[in-house]
Homo-oligomer: A and B are copies of this chain.
Amino acid sequence: MLHVAEAARVSVATVSALINGTATVSPELSQRIEQAIRDIGYKRNAIARSLKMGTTRTIGLTVPHITNPFFTDVVSVIQQAFDRAGYAVMLCCTDEDLNTQDDQIRLLLDRMVDGLIVARVGDGAILKRIVDDANVPVVLLDRICKGIDTDAVVLDNQRAVFDAITYLINLGHRRIGYITGTSDISPMHDRMAGYREALHAAGLPIAEELIRFGNFHEIDGYNETMQMLSSHDRPSAIFSANNPMVIGTMKAIRDIGLSCPEDISVACFDDFPWSDVFQPQLTTVAQPVQAIGEQAANLLLDRLAGNRDAPPRKLLLKGRLMIRNSCRPLGAIAQSVSA
């Protein structure tokens, strides 16, 4: 900018005024400056600008795993929204690890991001402290957090799983396996509540040996399914509370020599784009990823636009049960269907 100013024989203040349109500059000087900018190939240094302005037009986004198709989609939507608004997004994947998450958030805050969208991991105490004293708007995504009272967009997880399990019950299933992630994050907690509520509403007992905890990965789904299916009193249906784990479930079913839905019915949380193309076509709970991403982006953009003091807004979106062919009717119900 200094060089431009010299070349155009004006002060840097004038160059800045022209570039930002913050003051009128005469046509003559404008012309000289623009020429100089072209000649020199000048590009404004956004870092210097950020330092002076106190804003980076960059936001931080952390998710547990970008390879989980739910997060892939949401990240994609959020990225597009901020791109449109002229913001850059720094992406971090916490790998479902608390320390990684804390480090990454600190990294983002060091870099003076203007805002944060966080699908948090683990207990919120440290996150809360970090976020509190960095004075930056935060929106919680997918997972709310007890200590942190801020904007959030989440699914009505309990209701969604309630519907799914009730569907299985109505098909005649009585022993329904449930594979979940560690329940220290809200969706897992709420989904489990939906499971229990559905069984309870139908007057069915809750068999604790059918509730299995994994660590969100395919391998966990595989292991837990293997164990369940090896028991002599195996379930007739399995619901997986997340998407990567259901792949493991399907592999376990295959490896153990059973087939779905003939021998065992399967449903899971989170839809994927190819779910109605391959067999079996999985029955899933679909989240409105587009809406989730857009709402999260909008909440943050609204704060960034200056609306700092509005009370925290919590958005609760509804899931949708996508019924396909991976669950089959059982017993009397099967009879009446085939009759």
Which of chain B's residues have a CB closer than 8 A to the CB of A75? 66, 91
Contact assessment for A58 and B218 in the assembled complex, using a CB-CB cutoff below 8 Å: no
Task: Write the A59-103 contact mask toward B (1 if CB under 8 angstroms, else 0).
Answer: 000000111000011011001100100101111110100001000
Residues of B within 8 A of A111 (CB): 46-47, 56, 58, 88
A108 to chain B, nearest CB (A): 7
Closest to A66 in B: B76
Residue contact B72 to A91, C-beta cutoff 8 Å: no
Convert A248-288 into 0s and 1s, putting 1 for each residue whose CB lies closer than 8 angstroms to a CB of B: 00110010000000000000000011101111100000000
CB distance from A35 to the nearest CB of B (A): 17
What residues on B are CB-neighbors of A95 within 8 Å? 80
Q: Name the CB-closest residue of B to A134.
A: B43
Q: Which of A88, A93, A107, A108 gathers the greatest number of chain B CB atoms within 10 Å? A: A88
User: In the complex, A112 Cα to B47 Cα: how many Å?
Assistant: 7
In chain A, residues 147-170, which have Cβ atoms closer than 8 Å to a Cβ of chain B?
none
B residues near A272, Cβ cutoff 8 Å: 274
Closest B residue, CB atoms, query A103: B83
Q: Is the CB of B247 within 8 A of A277?
A: yes
- The residues of B that contact A104 with a CB separation of less than 8 Å are 83
Q: Does A31 contact B (CB under 8 A)?
A: no
In Å, the complex CA distance between A38 and B92 comes to: 27
Residues of the B chain whose Cβ atoms lie less than 8 Å from the Cβ of A90: 58, 88-91
A304–B89 Cα distance when bound, in Å, is 21
Interface residues of A (CB under 8 A from B): 41, 43-48, 50-51, 56, 58, 65-67, 72-73, 75-76, 79-80, 83, 86, 88-93, 95, 100, 104, 106-112, 133-134, 218, 247, 250-251, 254, 272-274, 276-280
9 A-B Cβ contacts within 8 A?
Answer: A47-B50, A56-B111, A65-B76, A66-B76, A67-B72, A79-B92, A83-B93, A83-B100, A89-B91
